[in-house]
Amino acid sequence: MHRFLPILKIGAILFLTVLLLLPMGRIRGLIHERQALRDQVLEEVARSDAYAQTVTGPILIVPYTRTLREQELDRDGRPVIVTRETAGELRLLPEKLELDGTLTTEERQRGIYRARIFRADTRLSGHFDIAADYGIVEDPGSYRFSEPQLALGISDIRGIGNGLEIRVDGAEVPVQPGAGTALLSKGVKASLAAAAGTHARRIEYQIVLPLTGTSEFNIVPVGRESNVRLASDWPHPSFVGEFLPREREITGSGFTAAWQTSFFSTNLKEALARCVDSTPESCRDFHGRRFGVSFVDPVDQYLKSERAAKYAFLFIGLTFAGFFLTEVLRRVSVHPVQYGLVGLALAMFFLLLLSFSEHIGFAAAYAISAAACVGLISFYVASVLGSRAQGAAFGAALAGLYGLLYGILSSEDYALLMGSLLVFGLLAAVMVLTRRVSWSNLGAGR
């Protein structure tokens, strides 16, 4: 019977390891609940201020009425000329778009949660090269053009500041709410009565756009040649969208970034041509050709707590393996209940980590939680084994394991590699330390 004791002990340890996954599941559920509550607070802040912003334009909108004369047969089968009128709009993209923006960030706090908003001071400039008859070559005389409008799409118009200003050919023009076209669901427009006419010409524009938003600031580069330059005091930008900046500099005090695109790279003119009925499906390609910056928090305590909890099974298993190895090498007997208490102390680490990280940040919370658990387990193991030295050695090994876990959490790109090396190294250590252990006589020797 004694020879089966190690097998029974290993089975009991494995059962306890699986059993401890139940409280870990509850802790992971709590992490998701707290994360959802944080996201709800961020949503409330964005709802009361402004959501993520996307600037599209400017686009020159030219409404028209076209008169068509077609020959049809009447009831008697005689040919007659029927006149029909159809209405539509021309959408002309600028030849050049220059956008310079300075974005400053600030925090809004509600309870223990913080939301980050940005204020963008943007200036757009450039020109349209308008061909004669707006570029229509097929029967231009059948078109009657209305007053052209300069439309600027803004995804959340609540974020527009009071300093909005549009100048065309050096003269300020009145700005009206609404984009004035189905192509842009939200935005502003300006009537260009002075720029009306069917002759070839160039239209210069300058736009001052103060804008507030949260999370992201994006631009759709509508120009045949688009140059975008952004500067901000946020030192942790995440560049998003279809195009990355050709130049960027990130320091502890902020970042600067510059993009340069053309119709050859964006294919926006063809995407606009496919946007015939202005439905979301047909225009998705046009509006999707955007880029910008996301103001992400590099230390998301909930994401890191979730990642740490995913390693709970490995963490508890390795600790139990070390406990069992100490039991084998020191020829002492440890009751499964004592294994269970050590396992619960390990599970408490993840709960403490979540609780502290909401108030003092992830790094400090990790250090405090790890120190508390290492101290408690070291004290308990010293009493179980009857040796302070062995308790201290076990605590030192556990502290090293916490340090390795933190390294894995901090290095997202190399997490798999570091985790694989950790497991391999510990397995090699166990094999080396137990190479002279007679497992068949282990139970009888006690």
Query: Is pLDDT of 128 > 70?
Result: yes
The pLDDT, as a whole number, for residue 351 is: 87
The pLDDT, as a whole number, for residue 386 is: 77
The C-alpha angle 261, 267, 268, rounded to 5 degrees, equals 85
CA distance 79 to 428: 95
Give residue 430's pLDDT band: very low, low, confident or very high (50, 70, 90).
low
Tens digit of each residue's pLDDT (9 = 90 or more) over 335-353: 777 878 888 888 888 888 8
DSSP H or E stretch at residue 400: helix 388-410
CA atoms within 13 A of residue 26's CA, in its CB half-sphere: 8
The C-alpha angle 120, 121, 126, rounded to 5 degrees, equals 115
CA-to-CA dists, residue 239 to 68, 233, 236, 291, angstroms: 49, 15, 10, 8
Query: Is pLDDT of 429 > 90?
Result: no
Query: Is pLDDT of 4 > 60?
Result: no
Stretch 64-81: mean pLDDT? 76
Tens digit of each residue's pLDDT (9 = 90 or more) over 87-114: 888 899 999 999 999 999 988 777 677 7
The amino acid present at 48, given as its one-letter code, is: S
Query: Is pLDDT of 152 > 90?
Result: yes
The pLDDT, as a whole number, for residue 278 is: 63
What are the residue ranges spanned by the domains of the chain?
Answer: 2-39+301-441, 51-67+82-294
- Supply the DSSP symbol for 131: P
For 235-269, give one letter per residue: b (16+ CB within 10 A) or e. eebebbbebebeeeeeeeebbbbebebebeebebe
Query: Is pLDDT of 41 > 80?
Result: no
Give φ, ψ of 382 to 5 degrees.
Answer: -60, -40
Stretch 205-218: mean pLDDT? 92
The pLDDT, as a whole number, for residue 1 is: 45
The pLDDT, as a whole number, for residue 295 is: 85
Greatest C-alpha distance within the chain: 116
Tokens of residue 381, six digits = 């193991």
Number of H helices, E strands in the chain: 11, 17
DSSP H or E stretch at residue 84: strand 79-92
Query: Is pLDDT of 204 > 90?
Result: yes
CA distance 155 to 158: 9
Share of the chain above pLDDT 90, in %: 24
The pLDDT, as a whole number, for residue 96 is: 95
CA distance 271 to 91: 12
Work out the burial of residue 177: count CB atoms within 10 Å of its CB; fewer than 13 is exposed, 13-18 middle, 19 or more buried.
exposed
Give the best-scoring range by mean pLDDT among 160-164, 382-386, 409-413: 160-164
CA distance 209 to 61: 20
Cβ-contact 134, 198 below 8 angstroms: yes
Tens digit of each residue's pLDDT (9 = 90 or more) over 219-276: 999 999 999 999 999 988 889 998 999 999 999 899 999 999 988 888 888 888 888 7
Averaged confidence pLDDT in the chain: 82
- Top-confidence residue, 217 or 297: 217
Cβ-contact 89, 61 below 8 angstroms: yes
The pLDDT, as a whole number, for residue 144 is: 86
Cβ-contact 98, 122 below 8 angstroms: no
Which of 340, 315, 335 lies closest to 422 in space, CA to CA? 315
Segment among 65-69, 193-197, 228-232, 259-263 with least mean pLDDT: 193-197
CB count within 10 Å of CB 424 equals: 10
Which of 224, 95, 198, 194 lies closest to 141 in space, CA to CA? 198
Stretch 170-181: mean pLDDT? 88
Q: Give every CB contact of residue 371 below 8 A, 6+ residues apart in sequence.
A: none
Which of 198, 149, 196 lies closest to 174 in space, CA to CA? 149
Give residue 440's pLDDT band: very low, low, confident or very high (50, 70, 90).
low
Whole-angstrom distance between the N-terminal and C-terminal Cα of the chain?
Answer: 12
The pLDDT, as a whole number, for residue 378 is: 87
